[in-house]
A and B are shown apart, each in its own frame.
Chain A
Amino acid sequence: MSEDIIQQLKTVYLFRGLSDEALSPLAQKVGVLKLMRDDVLMRKGERGESLYMIHDGWMKVVTEDSRGGELIINKCGPGETIGEMALFDQAPRSASVIALEDVTVLELKQDDFQKILDERPGLSLVIIHGLSSRLRFSTTYIEKAIDWSQKIAEGDYSFIDYTPTLLRRAGSDEDKAGQLLSAFFKMVKRVKEREDGLKQQVEKLTFEIDQARRKREFDEITSTELYTRIKEQARKLREQRFERQDE
């Protein structure tokens, strides 16, 4: 299991730069939890004191909807990390995590983690490096989202065509900023599709002619002496032209 644990620790972005040797003391502190369906790993609002890594099985991340019902916001499976920030702070958990089936979870407690850090100050630097590169990615994604927002506001959707590479990376990454960007991108595509649909929708012109008014105004014009004279003269002129053309 120890080798297994080291491999799993390596998938956590915080520990990505560490050698097997450096991870070994951490691995020794990792505990194994066995959960059954509906067992609660953590509750929303509780103080977080541990990082968890799912070894096998699936769990649901839930919060409450406006009526107090359960709202599943995500599902986590083997290899995924939950609540890593609890290693540094003791902020309340933002959601509850409940087992969907038999699940094995690896646990690293904050106290154990900090003790190891005290013993090995070099480890801190590697971890800070992991955190800062994550932050850099997040910043890039946020800047992208800002850039896109401005373009969308101006009706410019051209970026949809030249961003697939960025999205593949964002979509496959576990980090939240990447997921946000991916969701944002999908949303923009849908909005554009809807907008294009609206543009193609033809509108029927609504109009109504006031027939009484039409008749009244026609009568006003045609009842004048001037009109009668014009009509009569026009008739004569047409006849003359007709005769001329016949000649």
Chain B
Amino acid sequence: MNKGRIISIHSFRGGTGKSNITANLAAQAALAGKRVGVVDADIQSPGIHVLFGLNESKMGRTLNDFLHGKCAIVEAAFAVGKNSGDAEGRAKLAGKDLWLIPSSIAGREISQVLRSGYDFNKLNEGLQTLIKELNLDYLFIDTHPGLNEETLLSIAISDIIIVILRPDDQDIQGTAVTVDVARSLDVPKMILLVNKALPKLDRADIKARFEAEFDAPVAGFMPLTFDLAENASKDLFSLSRPEHEWSLALREVAGAVLAMK
């Protein structure tokens, strides 16, 4: 298996639970003993840091600092395993090899990057350095919804893209375009993940039709659950509620991703 795989998690619209799924997949990979990095490339609306227990006061260097040449990328890496804190789920990550590269939540810095745009080579160089210096098995990228410039960049440099969609018309239409674009960018592997699936839906039917329509495998169905919504931003749900149906579904997807050749 080749080391240092870049996995970007994408959705056409916001609110699909992308950050939650990204953070939990990364956590599961770390729990399985992998060396894992998570990059919050959603510069416009960063948020994944909260799930890893990183708040504004604790936040040091960020991806923005690196992109502006203010620091090396490794300096922006927050070691989750050494700062897993008091939350029940996150505590299980103590001692694990998991790093988060957060995006700045300061408004000024956000607009600065948006004005000047990403430097493709700079971002890529940073990710490659990160993989090398932290000896990563996996690097997860949480992207901004839609298909803007920085998201196209993230997709383009990925080895695997996980496209999350809800089973509704708007998401399905937008996902069709995303899938076509990702394929056109020669992303080697693409999987679909159906989120917020109601129990009454015929999953076998959806799987067959989505796979036919998008020519990519459906790796799993994440059930719609209020328990997650209540807990979501406080902790890593698949760790704090490991026996919950959502967590079981997530672990199945994590297993499929880790098993990819």
Contact of A231 among B128, B173, B184, B201 (CB under 8 A): B184
Residues of A within 8 A of B176 (CB): 209, 214
Contact of B202 among A202, A218, A227, A233 (CB under 8 A): A202
Bitwise interface map of A from 233 to 245 toward B, beta carbon under 8 Å scored 1, else 0:
1110110010001
Q: How far is the CB of A216 from chain B (nearest CB, A)?
A: 9
Please tell me if A64 contacts chain B, counting CB pairs below 8 Å.
no
Contact of B177 among A221, A227, A235 (CB under 8 A): A221
Residues of B within 8 A of A235 (CB): 186
Please tell me if A153 contacts chain B, counting CB pairs below 8 Å.
no
Q: Are A217 and B177 in contact (CB under 8 A)?
A: yes
- Number of B residues near A (Cβ < 8 Å) is 31
Q: Are B2 and A231 in contact (CB under 8 A)?
A: no
Interface size class of A (residues with CB under 8 A): 20 to 34
Q: How far, in whole Å, are A203 and B200 apart by their CA atoms in the complex?
A: 6
Please tell me if A210 contacts chain B, counting CB pairs below 8 Å.
yes
Residues of B within 8 A of A214 (CB): 173, 176-177, 180
Question: What's the dominant secondary structure at chain B's contact region?
Answer: helix
Q: Are A231 and B169 in contact (CB under 8 A)?
A: no
Residues of B within 8 A of A203 (CB): 198, 200-202
Please tell me if B116 contacts chain A, counting CB pairs below 8 Å.
no
Q: Are A221 and B167 in contact (CB under 8 A)?
A: no
Residues of B within 8 A of A233 (CB): 120-121, 124, 156
Q: Which of B106-114, B145-153, B238-246 contacts A (4 or more CB under 8 A)?
A: B145-153
Please tell me if A194 contacts chain B, counting CB pairs below 8 Å.
no
Q: Which B residues are closer than 8 A to A by beta carbons?
A: 2, 120-121, 124, 128, 147, 149, 152-153, 156-157, 167-169, 172-173, 176-177, 180-181, 184-186, 198, 200-202, 205-206, 209, 213
Q: Are B156 and A231 in contact (CB under 8 A)?
A: yes
Q: How far, in whole Å, are A218 and B147 apart by their CA atoms in the complex?
A: 10
Q: Are A202 and B156 in contact (CB under 8 A)?
A: no
How many residue-residue contacts, CB under 8 A, span A and B?
A: 72
Q: How far, in whole Å, are A226 and B173 apart by their CA atoms in the complex?
A: 23
Bitwise interface map of A from 15 to 52 toward B, beta carbon under 8 Å scored 1, else 0:
00000000000000000000000000000000000000
Q: How far, in whole Å, are A227 and B156 apart by their CA atoms in the complex?
A: 10
Please tell me if A90 contacts chain B, counting CB pairs below 8 Å.
no
Residues of B within 8 A of A234 (CB): 156-157, 185-186
Q: How far is the CB of A103 from chain B (nearest CB, A)?
A: 55
Q: How far, in whole Å, are A207 and B149 apart by their CA atoms in the complex?
A: 29
Q: How far is the CB of B177 from chain A (nearest CB, A)?
A: 5
Q: How far, in whole Å, are A226 and B198 apart by their CA atoms in the complex?
A: 39
Q: Are B185 and A231 in contact (CB under 8 A)?
A: yes
The 10 closest A-B pairs by CB, nearest first: A234-B156, A202-B202, A217-B177, A218-B180, A214-B176, A203-B200, A207-B172, A230-B156, A205-B167, A209-B176
Bitwise interface map of A from 186 to 218 toward B, beta carbon under 8 Å scored 1, else 0:
000000000000010111110111100110011
Please tell me if A150 contacts chain B, counting CB pairs below 8 Å.
no
Q: How far is the CB of B62 from chain A (nearest CB, A)?
A: 23
Residues of B within 8 A of A222 (CB): 181, 184
Q: How far is the CB of B208 from chain A (nearest CB, A)?
A: 11
Q: How far, in whole Å, are A167 and B202 apart by their CA atoms in the complex?
A: 39
Contact of B149 among A202, A226, A237 (CB under 8 A): A226
Residues of B within 8 A of A237 (CB): 124, 157
Most buried by B among A199, A209, A213: A209
